[in-house]
Amino acid sequence: MLDQYFRRPRVRTRLRANRLGAWIEAYVDYLDHRGHAPGTIQQYVQGVEHFGVWLASQQIAIDNVTRATIDSFLHDHLPNCQCATPAPTCLYQVRAALVHLLRVPSGRPSNPQPVPQLTPVTVVLGHYGSYLRDTCGLAESTCRYRTRYAREFLQGKFGDGPVRWGRLRPEDLMAFTAGYASRCRPGSAQVAATSLRSLLRFLQLRGDCEPRLIAAVPHVPSWRLDHVPRTLTDEQLGQFLACFDRCTPTGRRDYAMALCQVDLGLRVSEVSTLHIEDVNWREATLRIVGGKAGRTRVLPLTERVGRAIAAYLRNGRPATICRRLFVRHTVPVGTAIGTELIRGSIRHAFAQVAGCGHWTGTHALRHTAATRLHRHGATLKEVADLLGHRSIDTTAIYTKVDLPTLATVALPWPEDQS
Class in CATH terms, 120-215: mainly alpha
Q: Tell me, what amino acid is at 233? A: T
Cα(24)–Cα(280) distance, rounded to whole angstroms? 45
In what helix (H) or strand (E) does residue 24 lie, and over which residues does it extend?
helix 21-34
Q: Which residue in the list 12, 14, 133, 292 is annotated as catalytic? A: 292
Cα(16)–Cα(35) distance, rounded to whole angstroms? 23
Tell me the helices (H) and strands (E) count for the chain, helix number first.
20, 3
Q: What share of the chain is helix, strand, coil (3-state, %, to 5)?
A: 60, 5, 35
Q: What is the predicted pLDDT for the residue at 36?
A: 85
Q: 10 Å Cβ neighbour count for 43?
A: 18
**286 - beta bridge partners?**
279, 299
Comparing CA positions, the residue from 217, 220, 263, 216 lying closest to residue 378 is: 263
Q: Which residue in the list 108, 127, 304, 363 is annotated as catalytic? A: 363
Q: What is the predicted pLDDT for the residue at 111?
A: 47
pTM of the model: 0.69
The CATH code for residues 234-402 is 1.10.443.10
Q: Which residue in the list 44, 131, 149, 398 is annotated as catalytic? A: 398
Buried b (16+ CB within 10 A) or exposed e, 79-88: eeeeeeebeb
Q: What is the predicted pLDDT for the residue at 382?
A: 76
Q: Which residue in the list 324, 366, 372, 374 is annotated as catalytic? A: 366
Cα(195)–Cα(208) distance, rounded to whole angstroms? 17
Catalytic, 164? Answer no
Strand, coil or helix: 142: helix
Question: What are the pLDDT digits (tens) for 179-207?
Answer: 998 888 888 899 999 999 999 999 999 99
Catalytic, 5? Answer no
Which parts of the chain have pLDDT scores under 50? 84-88, 108-113, 403, 406-410
What is the domain partition of the chain in residue ranges?
2-107, 120-215, 234-402
Q: What is the predicted pLDDT for the residue at 33?
A: 82
Contact 316, 334 (CB under 8 A): no
Q: Which residue in the list 95, 100, 267, 372 is annotated as catalytic? A: 267
Phi, psi of 112 (to 5 degrees): -65, 165
Cα(168)–Cα(211) distance, rounded to whole angstroms? 12
**325 - beta bridge partners?**
none
Buried b (16+ CB within 10 A) or exposed e, 96-134: bbbebbeebeebebeeeeeeeeebebeebbeebbebbee
CA 213, chain centre distance (Å): 33
Catalytic, 381? Answer no
Comparing CA positions, the residue from 88, 108, 112 lying closest to residue 100 is: 108
Catalytic, 292? Answer yes
Question: What are the pLDDT digits (tens) for 202-237?
Answer: 999 999 999 999 999 998 876 655 566 788 999 999
Question: Which residues neighbour 402 within 8 Å (Cβ) at sequence distance 6 or greater?
Answer: 371, 374, 375
Contact 218, 174 (CB under 8 A): yes
Question: Which residues neighbour 21 within 8 Å (Cβ) at sequence distance 6 or greater?
Answer: 15, 52
